[in-house]
Amino acid sequence: MKILLVFAALVAAACSEQLFVGDQVLRVTASNEEQLTLLRVLGEQAELQVDFWRHPTSPGHPVDMRVPFPSLQAVKIFLESNSISYSIMIEDVQELLDEEKKTMMKSRRIERSTNTFDFASYHTIEEIYDWMDTLVDDYPSLVSKIQIGQSYENRPLYVLKFSTGGSNRPAIWLDTGIHSREWITQATGVWTANKIAEEYGHDPSITAILDSMDIFFEIVTNPDGFAFTHSSNRMWRKTRSINAGSHCIGVDPNRNWDAGFGGSGSSSNPCSETYRGPYAHSESEVKAIVDFIIGHGNVKSVISIHSYSQMLLFPYGYKTAPPPHYQELNELAKKAVSDLAAAYGTKYTYGSIANTIYLADGTTVDWAYDNGVKYSFTFELRDTGHYGFLLPSTQIIPTATETWPALLDIMVHVLEHPY
Amino acid sequence: DIDDVGHKYHLELVLEDVLDKDSTVNCTAEVLYHLGNKNSAPSVQFTLEEELKNTDEADNIFYNRIKSLEKELVAENIPDSHGNVSPEMEPVRLLAWVASGYVIWQNSTENTKFQLAQIKHVKQVKRSDEYLEFDYTILLHEMVSQEIIPWQMTVLWHPQHGVQVTQDSRQPKHASE
């Protein structure tokens, strides 16, 4: 009997026939053993095709039965004439199935939309990579995903490209998460990428920017390190490359760039958190960006986002001498920091890396600047040490929200000062 | 610059209550980093221009809660990876913060900037007297080198007698990292 039903179901499915139209589910209560026996007999009438969802067991316990539409009248007459009480649990089984199917499809669509991604919590690399795909799906004419290389452990290095067209337009490069333990940066990156997509066509600044320029955004710049912070050591900073002749792993990707490489602002010890690596651009994560920016040839700004300290920094880190554009960069930083503070009163300091934080050589922004990218900035996001790297997730959205106007200030300035 | 002695800094600072951002106290301080002797902590002298807030009530609530625990308190990873601290652990975290201040002071030079990064492990130690004792393993983050340094510290506390770090030692980093 069951096999017949399954076969019928398959055939019906193949013919897209609706199987349960008008069928009802009745809840029947047998008050004694005699009535119980009658119900069992009813179930044995093959031509009625009564389908028990809850079998007759003992008096007083409800028996649930699905009754196909053609058998309804006969079954109800049988129950009534034997004084067996029943109620209608489901008026029309097919209606219920249709409703359920609709709900399931809707929920699947919701899951895949960026509208329900929880921006207020920290995510794994898989979750962020999946979310990137939904962002591209939701804004197909604005956002695309490109792969610029692979990490040491062969994870893809993904960059989101925001473009309204043109050919090799002047571009702005943004990166977060180059130091994997700085979780607020990847989280801010996700929120900000979403914000850029959302606001194009609404916010006049971002619209003007994207109408003439492209934005390239690498959110998980150090995926191996990031995966390691989830699986093993929350405080991991560097890449996960193996160092020849040492048991210590990893290179500081922000000391590996070819700008003042090898000075006192980095370490030659593989066990150090600021180990510069065996040579400049030894790290595939760094080399991929170098190749991309050089290959692109038209990048006008590089903004690299770190945490923590609440600072907005510009070159140089490898020397204390001011960069040629010191005045302009300083003024722009001052404005950006002021607009950032307007949101929640968060105070940032600003200035050149060497004078504001410490001597650091081989950094992203110094390399960019020395390779013709005038508007090169590093953000150090919240906080100033109270939670440090372990910034509560409740601060993700406030941090991203206050940083947004500062980013816009820089990007608008880049737009308005072509070179 | 003080010849043959070291470097002295005059500081004017504002102390801000972590639990109440609007509550501030002005402070002046003098810090002397001793020349050459890396094993001695900088000398600090300070003057508070107002009195610090009275915290007796909160102190006693925490004290009594710990005293009445059936089993000694044990906890790990405060805050956790997501920055969460449960309300019961918040005073334990603040106590570590104060105690780590002492450890940081004892190990600071003009070229270091330490912050408490995380409590890896804390275990209450049973005592027969009125003091509470906690054995902490903390992670200190040193900003210039960017190193994460595990540190053990034994902390005594009593509402009326304040905080004492009776023992502390730098720990070796795990070979697996």
pLDDT tens-place string over residues B58-104: 999 999 999 999 999 999 999 999 999 999 999 999 999 999 999 99
| Inter-chain touch A121–B83, beta carbons under 8 Å | no
| Inter-chain touch A235–B139, beta carbons under 8 Å | yes
Minimal Cα–Cα distance from B50 to chain A, Å? 24
Question: In this structure, are B109 and B156 located in the same domain?
Answer: yes
State the pLDDT at residue A8: 56
Quote the CA–CA distance of B45 and A45 in Å, as a whole number.
97
Minimal Cα–Cα distance from B144 to chain A, Å? 7
Just list the catalytic residues of A.
380
Q: Count CA atoms closer than 13 A to B29's CA, side-chain side.
A: 15
- Least CB–CB distance from B117: residue in A233, A235, A309: A235
* Type of residue numbered A380: E
- Least CB–CB distance from A387: residue in B79, B144, B175: B79
Q: What 3 state SS string does A368-398 have?
A: HHHCCCCEEEEEEECCCCCCCCCCCHHHHHH
Question: In this structure, are B106 and B118 located in the same domain?
Answer: yes
- Report residue B176's pLDDT band, with 50, 70 and 90 as the boundaries: very low
A344 touches chain B (CB under 8 A): no
- Indicate the fold that domain A21-91 takes in CATH: Alpha-Beta Plaits (3.30.70)
Quote the CA–CA distance of A353 and A332 in Å, as a whole number.
15
- Residues B7-39 pLDDT 10s: 999 999 999 888 888 889 999 999 999 987 667
SS3 A367: helix
A19 touches chain B (CB under 8 A): no
Backbone angles phi, psi at A242, to 5 degrees: -80, 135
Question: Where are chain A's structural domains?
Answer: 21-91, 117-416
A119 touches chain B (CB under 8 A): no
| Inter-chain touch B141–A389, beta carbons under 8 Å | yes
Question: In this structure, are B45 and B82 located in the same domain?
Answer: no
**What region does B169 belong to: left with phi over 0, alpha with psi -120 to 50, or beta?**
beta
Nearest CA in chain B to A242: B177
Q: Decide: A267 and A276 in contact? Cβ < 8 Å.
A: yes
Backbone angles phi, psi at B125, to 5 degrees: -110, 125
B69 touches chain A (CB under 8 A): no
| Inter-chain touch A229–B118, beta carbons under 8 Å | no
Quote the CA–CA distance of A322 and A352 in Å, as a whole number.
8
Minimal Cα–Cα distance from A388 to chain B, Å? 6
Cβ-Cβ contacts under 8 Å, B176 against chain A:
232
Nearest CA in chain A to B21: A345
Question: In this structure, are B45 and B63 located in the same domain?
Answer: no
What distance separates the 2 farthest-apart alpha carbons in chain B? 57
Q: Count CA atoms closer than 13 A to A85's CA, side-chain side.
A: 8
Burial class (CB in 10 A: 0-12, 13-18, 19+), A196: buried
A345 touches chain B (CB under 8 A): no
Within 290-319 of A, beta carbons closer than 8 Å to B belong to: 309
Quote the CA–CA distance of A34 and A42 in Å, as a whole number.
13
Side by side, which strands form the sheet with A349-352? Answer: A143-150, A156-162, A214-218, A171-176, A299-307, A375-381, A311-314, A349-352
Q: What is the CA radius of gyration of chain A?
A: 32
Alpha-carbon distances of A186 from A123, A140, A346, rounded to whole Å: 9, 22, 20
In chain B, the percentage of residues whose pLDDT exceeds 90 is 84
Nearest CA in chain B to A275: B145
Pick from B9, B36, B53: which residue ends a domain? Answer: B53
Q: Which residues form the domain of B105?
A: 54-176
| Inter-chain touch A233–B177, beta carbons under 8 Å | yes
| Inter-chain touch B145–A387, beta carbons under 8 Å | no
Mean per-residue pLDDT of chain B: 93
Cβ-Cβ contacts under 8 Å, B80 against chain A:
390
Question: Which residues are CB-contacts of A22 (< 8 A; sequence separation ≥ 6)?
Answer: A69, A72, A92, A94
> Which residues on neighbouring strands pair with residue A387, listed in sequence order?
none
Least Cα distance to A148 among A278, A41, A285 occurs for A285
Where would I find the H helices in A264-395?
284-296, 326-344, 353-356, 364-370
Look up the CATH number of the domain holding residue B91: 3.10.450.10
- Least CB–CB distance from B141: residue in A121, A272, A388: A388
Alpha-carbon distances of A81 from A60, A78, A85, B39, rounded to whole Å: 19, 5, 10, 100
Question: In this structure, are B113 and B134 located in the same domain?
Answer: yes
Minimal Cα–Cα distance from B46 to chain A, Å? 22
Minimal Cα–Cα distance from A275 to chain B, Å? 10
Average pLDDT over residues B152-157: 98
Nearest CA in chain A to B148: A235
Within 111-170 of B, beta carbons closer than 8 Å to A belong to: 115-118, 139, 141, 143-148
- Least CB–CB distance from B83: residue in A236, A273, A392: A392
Q: What 3 state SS string does chain B have?
A: CECCCEEEEEEEEEEEECCEEEEEEEEEEEEEEECCCCCCCCEEEEEECCCCCCCHHHHHHHHHHHHCCCCCCEEEEECCCCCCCCHHHHHHHHHHHHHHHHHHHHCCCCCCCEEEEEEEEEEEECCCCCCEEEEEEEEEEECCCCEEEEEEEEEEEECCCEEEEEEEEECCCCCCC
Within 92-111 of B, beta carbons closer than 8 Å to A belong to: none
Task: Report the alpha-carbon angle A352-A356-A358, nearest 5.
Answer: 100
State the pLDDT at residue B175: 43
| Inter-chain touch A390–B80, beta carbons under 8 Å | yes
B80 touches chain A (CB under 8 A): yes
Minimal Cα–Cα distance from B115 to chain A, Å? 6
Contacts 24+ apart (CB under 8 A), A237-241: A237/A179, A237/A180, A237/A181, A237/A273, A237/B146, A238/A179, A238/A180, A238/A273, A238/A275, A239/A151, A239/A152, A239/A283, A239/A285, A240/A151, A240/A152, A240/A153, A241/A152, A241/A277, A241/A282, A241/A283
| Inter-chain touch A234–B143, beta carbons under 8 Å | no
Minimal Cα–Cα distance from A321 to chain B, Å? 20
Complex ipTM value: 0.92
Helix, strand, coil percent content, chain A, rounded in steps of 5: 40, 20, 40
Quote the CA–CA distance of B101 and B165 in Å, as a whole number.
10
| Inter-chain touch B83–A393, beta carbons under 8 Å | yes
Quote the CA–CA distance of B73 and B70 in Å, as a whole number.
9
The reported pTM is 0.80
Quote the CA–CA distance of A2 and A406 in Å, as a whole number.
67
Question: In this structure, are B80 and B157 located in the same domain?
Answer: yes
Quote the CA–CA distance of B96 and B85 in Å, as a whole number.
13
| Inter-chain touch B144–A358, beta carbons under 8 Å | yes
A388 touches chain B (CB under 8 A): yes
Q: Decide: A74 and A48 in contact? Cβ < 8 Å.
A: yes
Nearest CA in chain B to A309: B143
A212 touches chain B (CB under 8 A): no
pLDDT digits (tens), chain A, 419 positions:
566 555 555 555 555 555 788 889 898 988 888 998 899 888 888 888 898 888 888 888 888 898 998 899 889 999 998 989 898 888 888 877 777 777 666 655 555 555 689 999 999 999 999 999 999 999 999 999 999 999 999 999 999 999 999 999 999 999 999 999 999 999 999 999 999 999 999 999 999 999 999 999 999 999 999 999 999 999 999 999 999 999 999 999 999 999 999 999 999 999 999 999 999 999 999 999 999 999 999 999 999 999 999 999 999 999 999 999 999 999 999 999 999 999 999 999 999 999 999 999 999 999 999 999 999 999 999 999 999 999 999 999 999 999 999 999 999 999 999 99
| Inter-chain touch B145–A274, beta carbons under 8 Å | yes
Q: Decide: A178 and A364 in contact? Cβ < 8 Å.
A: yes
Per CATH, the homologous superfamily of domain A117-416 is Zn peptidases (3.40.630.10)
